[in-house]
């Protein structure tokens, strides 16, 4: 977002840096009566022209400010965008001049390093209507011109333009050679759109304007426009109140191309308020244009977060509770279920007090971990960083840390070593519970709940995405309230056993069969570690993953060796384990992300690279687009692929060319993908949407896919055209 202050800094910096390039040029009265001489610089040529060589009998005189620019250089429109300033004429020293009206031909949009600017290249004439005080007297034009021209650098210029128009004379028989040139650019000034069969119908808000930092709110507006002939590539230029800033528009067209819906990101600062604000809208479609001033209304429906979240906070909390409960059944939590099973079995025959205490501890571990995640997300959001569910898996150091932790749990289940808490924790926990063993202590069970939460975060469950989207689009209270409900939901099975401890007492009694079960469940955790290393291979490189994997094996060998050493030498072996773990954490810092591998590692040929800016054009051509936002660390995403996207009729549709398959890989941080998800009010994956003539703004699908859901979405987006062809 570029504020007026940012623009001022940009221009001030340019002026200071290029002070030597600030030129003051003086023009002299023209020998010809219809223009000044060309005032030339290395980048531009500029002059003032007249449609007539004299005043005639009219009070209004048609003039033009004509620019010719060298290749690559541009000047700016009246609303320049994120940077720049428009040409400005000061007529104070003119004689017999009552007033002037400056015309702005339709500009073009330019983008440099993410900055959006509006202006002109090559050549432009700004039509000017000058009104004289007395047509019987000559008009002496004396203008001081300030303008900025930019390419890779920006250079401000100041020059003077002057010439005289004599009184009287014919008005039509003696037209200047510039008459048609001025008329040509006058026709390019946007009007009400009737001449071009265009109209701007409405403008309304479509997204939640949530506070992203102090006194700064973000959201979206939606503009609807109609055309008597099909739209080609509509764009919109917006002029609004101070401290309101507009991003790059995204247009979607109806099936017949007669209606355009344009969504525009908006940022408002301090006391600015987009709702009920008056906006000057300039619609462009090729050479056609329309202009209208409208008041922003509050949208009743929206294609973004308001479409999926028309709920109150109590309803969202209920969704969060249900989503947290369902999270226990997600495939990414299967390794954690092994720990739960062992926890339940280990309580066979225990008294109710021990069962209740241990399951309360696990519940608190889950809930506390969710609150810790909420606190971290609040901190990131206040710092202006991207936030989302499971984003910690985008960072290699987190993958390495979790790999170490999972590997240690696997070795513990295999009996290679006993996983013990620090003595000062276990002693206090044992004293409070009357238990001597770590795995039965309050602290040990608390850690089990926390570990369950960590491994659950790469998954998104039904209702969870809705709840998290609401929370992260809201304020600090919303985030903590929703994540507390998620934690309670995931902890419900533990809470149930804590309330009814006889459920655990009915489990089979501990015995030798548990040793076999431990080995099997340890294998499940080892497979989890291998999966984590496969994610690391995509994020960094295969060599990095192999190094970390070798270090994990080395850690196991040291643990085995440690059990055979004397007590005095066990400390040396423990130091070796610490060195191995440090080496594992150091590995990500010795490898740079392999972008090429990330983009092509698992993406089949039929998947197009993620390019949301091309979707409106594809929809305008009548095509259907299926978007899949995925990541290698998202197990729910992998399940969707294995069970739906890579099988049967859905796979045939995606590979046949009838549906354009577009995939966004969020394995590593990507601001474009984060912004895309946020536009739908989503902050986690998997995320799937279908676009087409029947759903130009995108039809979102649930987190867990089924063939029926995908086919239904494609049928709706294509207006039934895709499935009818089969």
Domains of the chain and CATH, by start: 4-186 (2.60.40), 194-302 (2.60.40.10), 310-533 (no CATH), 597-724 (3.40.30.10)
Give the C-alpha separation, 389 to 366, whole Å: 16
Taking a C-beta distance cutoff of 8 angstroms, is the pair 634, 688 a contact? no
Mean pLDDT, all residues of the chain: 77
For residue 578, the model assigns a pLDDT of 87
For residue 5, the model assigns a pLDDT of 36
Between 139 and 410, where is the model more confident? 139
Residue 233: which of 210, 251, 207, 206 has the closest Cα?
251
Tens of pLDDT, residues 413-458:
787 876 554 444 344 434 433 343 444 567 777 877 787 777 666 5
Residue 123: pLDDT over 90: yes
Percent of the chain scored above 70 by pLDDT? 75
User: % helix / strand / coil in the chain, to the nearest 5?
Assistant: 45, 25, 30
For residue 109, the model assigns a pLDDT of 92
Q: How many CB atoms lie under 10 A from the CB of residue 282?
A: 22
pTM value surpassing 0.85: no
Residue 20: pLDDT over 50: no
Taking a C-beta distance cutoff of 8 angstroms, is the pair 616, 248 a contact? no
Give the C-alpha separation, 351 to 505, whole Å: 8
Residue 582: pLDDT over 60: yes
For residue 183, the model assigns a pLDDT of 86
- Angle, helices 442-456 vs 423-433, to 10°: value is 110
Give the containing element (helix H, strand E) for 266: strand 259-269
Tens of pLDDT, residues 703-719:
888 899 999 999 988 88
C-alpha dihedral sign at 320, 326, 332, 334: positive
For residue 601, the model assigns a pLDDT of 42
303: pLDDT confidence band, cut at 50, 70 and 90? very low
Tens of pLDDT, residues 29-79:
433 467 899 999 999 999 999 988 888 777 888 999 999 999 999 999 999
The whole-number average pLDDT for the span 360-388 is 77
The whole-number average pLDDT for the span 360-375 is 86
| Contacting residues for 606 by C-beta, under 8 A, at least 6 apart | 654, 655, 661
Relative to beta strand 115-121, strand 74-81 is antiparallel
Between 125 and 163, where is the model more confident? 125
Q: How many CB atoms lie under 10 A from the CB of residue 445?
A: 26
Pick from 72-76, 505-509, 678-682 the range whose average pLDDT is largest.
72-76
For residue 391, the model assigns a pLDDT of 64
Tens of pLDDT, residues 644-661:
999 889 999 999 888 999
DSSP secondary structure of 178-240: THHHHHHHHTTS--SSGGGTEEEEEEEE-S--EEEETTEEEEEEEEEEEESS--SSEEEEEE-
Residue 326: pLDDT over 80: no
Give the C-alpha separation, 129 to 64, whole Å: 8
Residue 28: pLDDT over 60: no
For residue 327, the model assigns a pLDDT of 72
The whole-number average pLDDT for the span 527-536 is 82
Give the C-alpha separation, 104 to 291, whole Å: 12
Tens of pLDDT, residues 76-117:
999 998 888 999 999 999 999 999 999 999 999 998 777 889
């Amino acid at each position: 977002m570029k504020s007026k202050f940012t623009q001022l800094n940009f221009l001030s910096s340019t002026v200071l840096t290029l002070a030597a390039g600030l030129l003051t040029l003086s023009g002299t009265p023209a020998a010809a009566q219809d223009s000044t001489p060309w005032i030339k610089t290395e980048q531009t040529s500029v002059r003032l022209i007249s449609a007539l060589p004299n005043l005639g009998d009219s009070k209004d005189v048609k003039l033009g400010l004509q620019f010719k620019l060298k290749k690559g250089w541009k000047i700016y429109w009246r609303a320049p965008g994120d940077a720049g300033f428009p040409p400005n004429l000061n007529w104070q020293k003119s004689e017999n001049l009552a007033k002037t009206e400056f015309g702005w031909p339709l500009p073009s949009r330019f983008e440099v390093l993410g900055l959006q600017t509006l202006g002109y290249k090559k050549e432009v004439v700004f039509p000017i209507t000058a009104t004289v005080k007395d047509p019987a007297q000559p008009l002496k034009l004396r203008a001081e011109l300030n303008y900025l021209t930019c390419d890779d650098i920006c250079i401000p210029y100041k020059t003077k333009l002057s010439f005289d128009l004599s009184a009287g004379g014919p008005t039509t028989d003696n037209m200047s050679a510039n008459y048609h040139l001025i008329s040509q650019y006058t026709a390019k000034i946007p009007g009400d759109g009737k001449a071009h069969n265009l109209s701007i119908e409405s403008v309304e808000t479509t997204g939640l304007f949530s506070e992203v930092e102090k006194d700064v709110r973000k959201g979206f507006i939606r503009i609807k426009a109609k055309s008597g002939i099909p739209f080609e590539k509509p764009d919109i230029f917006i002029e609004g109140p101070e401290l309101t800033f507009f991003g790059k528009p995204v247009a979607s067209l109806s099936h017949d191309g007669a209606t355009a819906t344009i969504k525009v990101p908006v940022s408002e600062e301090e006391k600015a308020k987009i709702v009920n604000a008056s906006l000057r809208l300039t619609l462009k479609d090729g050479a056609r244009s329309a202009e209208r001033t409208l008041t922003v209304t509050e949208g009743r429906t929206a294609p973004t977060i308001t479409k999926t979240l028309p709920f109150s906070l109590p309803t969202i909390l209920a969704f969060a509770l249900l989503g947290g409960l369902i999270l226990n059944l997600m495939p990414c939590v299967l390794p954690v279920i092994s720990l739960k099973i062992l926890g339940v079995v280990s309580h066979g025959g225990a008294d109710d007090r021990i069962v209740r205490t241990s399951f309360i501890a696990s519940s608190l571990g889950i809930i506390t971990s969710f609150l810790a995640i909420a606190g971290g997300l609040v901190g990131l959001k206040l710092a202006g960083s991207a936030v989302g569910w499971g984003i910690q898996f985008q960072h290699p150091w987190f993958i390495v840390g979790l790999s170490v932790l999972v590997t240690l749990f696997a070795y513990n289940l295999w009996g290679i070593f006993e996983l013990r808490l620090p003595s000062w924790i276990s002693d206090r926990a044992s004293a409070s519970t009357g238990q001597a063993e770590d795995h039965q202590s309050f602290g040990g069970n608390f850690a089990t709940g926390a570990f369950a939460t960590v491994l659950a975060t790469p998954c998104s469950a039904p209702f969870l995405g809705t709840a998290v989207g609401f929370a992260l689009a809201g304020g600090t209270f919303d985030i903590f309230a929703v994540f507390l409900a998620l934690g309670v939901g995931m902890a419900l099975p533990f809470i149930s056993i804590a309330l009814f401890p006889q459920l655990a007492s009915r489990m089979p009694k501990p015995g030798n069969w548990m040793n076999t079960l431990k080995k099997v469940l340890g294998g499940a955790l080892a497979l989890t570690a291998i999966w984590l290393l496969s994610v690391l291979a995509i994020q960094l490189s295969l060599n990095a993953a192999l190094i970390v994997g070798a270090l994990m094996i080395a850690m196991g060998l040291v643990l085995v060796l440690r059990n055979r050493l004397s007590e005095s030498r066990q400390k040396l072996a423990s130091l070796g384990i610490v060195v191995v773990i440090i080496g594992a954490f150091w590995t990500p810092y010795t490898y740079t992300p392999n972008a090429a591998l990330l983009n092509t590692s698992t993406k089949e040929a039929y998947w197009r690279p993620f390019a949301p800016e091309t979707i409106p054009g594809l929809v305008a051509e009548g095509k259907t687009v299926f978007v899949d936002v995925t990541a290698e660390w998202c197990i729910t995403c992998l399940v969707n692929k294995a069970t739906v996207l890579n099988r049967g009729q859905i796979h045939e549709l995606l590979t046949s060319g009838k549906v354009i398959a577009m995939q966004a890989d969020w394995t590593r941080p990507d601001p474009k993908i984060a912004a895309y998800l946020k536009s739908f009010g989503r902050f986690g994956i998997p995320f799937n949407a279908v676009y087409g003539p029947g759903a130009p703004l995108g039809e979102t699908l649930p987190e867990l896919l089924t063939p029926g859901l995908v086919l239904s979405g494609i049928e709706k987006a294509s207006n039934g055209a895709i499935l009818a062809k089969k």
